[in-house]
Amino acid sequence: MSNCAIVGINWGDEGKGRMVDLLTGDYDIVVRNQGGGNAGHTVINEYGKFGLHLLPSGIFRKGVVNILGNGVALDLENLWKEMEEVRSKGVEITPENLMLSDRASLLLPWHRELDSLEEARLADKKYGSTKQGIAPFYSDKYQKKTVMAGELMYPDRLRGRLADLLEWKNLTLSGVYGAPKVTMDELMAWVDEYGEKLKPFIKDTGRWLRNAAAQGKSILFEAQLGALRDIDYGIYPYVTSSNTIAAYAPVGSGLPSARPEKVVGVVKAYSTCVGEGPFVCEWFGEAAEKLRSAGGEYGVKTGRPRRVGPIDIVATRYGVETQAATDLALTKLDILSYMDRIPVCTKYIVDGRETDEFPFPALLDGAKPVIEYLPGWKSDISGCRSWDELPKEARDYVLYVEKAVGCHITYVSVGPEREAYIMR
Ligand code: GDP
């Protein structure tokens, strides 16, 4: 069976967790290939409601093997806490169904601290970090200034490496930010506590995946955030510090030879954006508040109100191209049911000229949206399970988006529950 990547088309929070939870039933393995605990996937199933940050969404399916690949920012402390929380609701997590790549670099306690110190320094110029240490972590990874999970198996070497890192990092903590230095005892207490707990899960997952692929096992790659947050292709600098695009999935998973034949891009039926940065079709005031509360648009990790607006065709088409999506999942269509007419941002006006091309980030600040309207359906569609059951206006909206962004909408989601969707 072929491999599949599930990715975000926009700014994140498109409902990827819900789609991975739905589709994991068709795959043997689910791999998280980038990012860390800075975003959240919401999954609702027979065990309850979960905000997953690091655990792959396949953790709820019996027989599915879940892997955190080498591209992930491996935060042992938060991962352990998340595992305990999920286990407390009756979900089994063992080294049989969760594996951590020995090549995943460790997010250390000072990464989170540095994130907060830097956001505080930036004050009103901040990027809107979730303060999970992701940017300091990836900077250090590429400076070769952290350790890999597999190094936990070699305590003497590990201690020496950490001592060197500590000496270097304390120069920044105290010299740049005036913060207290971290002691070796504090660092080792952390490593001992969480390293010991998670050691049984650490494996050569690259080799394991190569064997699994040779046996014909199918893999679902689960990404975090969306195309517009990609470090190379997003709205830099308001991006995350890793590649959120499907092309990175093989690299960050541990199976660089993989070619996901199917790329499911997840798009919300309207736009949301967390944190700072340009957001061309943003709504304010009463209309925004109405959409935000209808859609429950508050961050899974931070509880922050999300910025909202109509679907952005310009950004979405760019996201589809960047992700090389073969199929789309349009989520939260049910949220638009209250609207008399459905707003769509069809073009931007940049430097006084209309364009349907997503512009270079520096031009986004001055861009203005061109809004058109489609008829609303004004009825509850959350119980619809087939295309024909959807009101004509809702079908027309789906068909409009599909044509405008140039990719088949294969799944239409009309509720957060696993079965609340329509397959086309
Ligand atoms: P992710 O990070 O891309 O997984 O997205 P989030 O989990 O942050 O946001 C998606 C939210 O919308 C979650 O609360 C989901 O349970 C919910 N959701 C997903 N699809 C639908 C849908 O079709 N309708 C409704 N009403 N809620 C949905």
Q: Where are the domains of the chain?
A: 4-104+204-264, 109-198, 268-319+331-423
Protein residue with its CA nearest to atom 28 in ligand 1? 416
Q: Give the residue among 409, 370, 368 at the shortest CA–CA distance from 387.
A: 409
Which atom, in ligand 1's list, is nearest to the CA of 12? 3
Residues 6+ apart with CB under 8 A from 207: none
- Decide if 310 contacts 345 (C-beta within 8 A): yes
CA dihedral 118, 122, 125, 130 (to 10 degrees): 30
Region 301-311 average pLDDT: 88
Which residues share a beta bridge with 409?
328
* Ligand 1 center to 319 CA (angstroms): 19
| 413 CB-near residues (< 8 Å, 6+ apart) | 15, 18, 19, 329, 330, 331, 332, 333, 420, 421, 422
- For the Cβ of 41 lying below 6 angstroms from any atom of ligand 1, the answer is yes
Q: Is 413 in the pocket of ligand 1 (CB under 6 A)?
A: yes
* Superfamily name and number for 109-198: Adenylosuccinate Synthetase, subunit A, domain 2 (1.10.300.10)
The active-site residue out of 21, 28, 41, 75 is 41
To the question of domain 268-319+331-423 being in CATH 3.90.170.10, the answer is yes
Distance of CA 265 from the midpoint of ligand 1 (Å):
14
Nearest protein CA to atom 17 of ligand 1, as residue:
416
Rounded-to-integer distance, Cα 413 and Cα 17, Å: 12
d(CA 158, CA 161): 5
**Whether 13 is catalytic:** yes
**What confidence category does residue 229 fall into, taking pLDDT thresholds of 50, 70 and 90?**
very high
How would you classify residue 224: left for phi > 0, otherwise alpha for psi between -120 and 50, otherwise beta?
A: beta
Percent of the chain with pLDDT over 90: 85
Q: How far is the CA of 335 from the centre of ligand 1 (A)?
A: 11
Around Cβ 309, how many Cβ atoms within 10 Å?
Answer: 22
Closest CA to 113 of 197, 33, 35, 176: 176
In the set 13, 28, 102, 115, the catalytic residue is 13
Q: Residue 37 — very low, low, confident or very high, per pLDDT cuts 50/70/90? A: confident
The pTM score is 0.93
* CA 104 and chain centroid, separation: 17
Q: How far is the CA of 8 from the centre of ligand 1 (A)?
A: 12
Query: What residues does 371 pair with on adjacent strands?
Result: 345
Residue 180 has pLDDT above 90, yes or no: yes
408 tagged catalytic? no
Residue of the nearest CA to atom 16 in ligand 1? 416
What is the per-residue pLDDT across 324-375, written as a single tens digit (0 to 9) for each?
Answer: 999 999 999 999 999 999 999 999 999 999 999 999 999 999 999 999 999 9
Residues 121-168: tens digit of each pLDDT: 887 776 666 778 999 999 999 999 999 999 999 999 999 999 999 999
- pLDDT tens by residue, 197-219: 999 999 999 999 999 999 999 99
Fold annotation for 4-104+204-264: Adenylosuccinate Synthetase; Chain A, domain 1 (3.40.440)
Residues 5, 71: Cα–Cα separation, whole Å: 15
